[in-house]
Amino acid sequence: MNSFDSNPATNSLISSEADSQRTLYPYVTGTSVVGIKYKDGILLAADMGGSYGSTLRYKSVERLKPVGKHSLIGASGEISDFQEIMRYLDDLILSDNMWDDGNSLGPKEVHNYLTRVMYNRRNKFNPLWNSLVLGGVKNGQKYLGTVSMIGVHYEDNHVATGFGNHLARPLLRDEWRENLTFEEGVILLEKCMRVLLYRDRSAVNKLQVLFSLCGIHNS
C-alpha cells in the first residue's frame, strides 16, 4: 500500500494547504493614488507602473476604475488583490442592478462596503494588500474616502495612499481649495504626481486621471 494513501489526515492537510490561495506578501505592486474634490466633482490620479519587487516590470497597469454609475476607485498595493476587489464590486453592482428598483449604489455605500471587506479579511489574517481611494458624485453630493488594508478608513476633501500621504498631501493642504475648477484640479494633481515621480522609485512618468461629474465617469 502506498504510504501517502494510508494516512488520510496527512492527505487532507496537504490538500487544504494546496487549495488555500493567499497573498502572503505582495508580488506586483502599484504605488500612490491621489484624489481630490473640485468644484463640480471628483478627480483621481495614479501612475501606471507595476513593480515586481524593486523592478519596474510593467508600464501600463490601470489602477483607477469606474464602479457602477456614480463611483471611481483607485488602488495601490498588490495588483492581483485589486483584481479580486474588482470582482467583489462587480458582483455587488450586479446584485444591486438585479433589484431594478430605480436606485443605485453611490460612492458612500461602496466605500462602506469596502471598509467591511478589508476589515473582515484582516480579521481572518488573510488581508487584501491594498490601500484604496473611493470617490464619486451622487445626487449632486461629492464623496471622497480611503480605506487601508486593515480597514482604517476616513473621508476628506483630498486623500492619498502610499508615498502620496507623505509627499502629496502637504502640497494639497497648501494649495487645495473648495472652488477649484477642473483645469486647476488637474494641474494640482499633475504637480503632486511630478513630486512623487522625483521622490518615489516605484513611480513612472505615465499617468492615469479619472474624474466623476454628476454621475459621468471619464479619463
Catalogue the active-site residues: 23
**In sequence order, what are the residues at sequence separation of 6 or more whose Cβ sits closer than 8 angstroms to the Cβ of residue 141?**
106
**CA separation for the pair 148, 211 (Å, rounded):** 22
Q: Which helix (H) or strand (E) holds 74?
A: strand 71-78
Cα 68–chain centre separation: 15
Cα 38–chain centre separation: 20
Beta-ladder partners of 47? 207
CB 134 within 8 A of CB 111: yes
Please provide the DSSP assignment of 129-140 as one string: -EEEEEEEEETT
φ and ψ at residue 66, rounded to 5 degrees: -80, 150
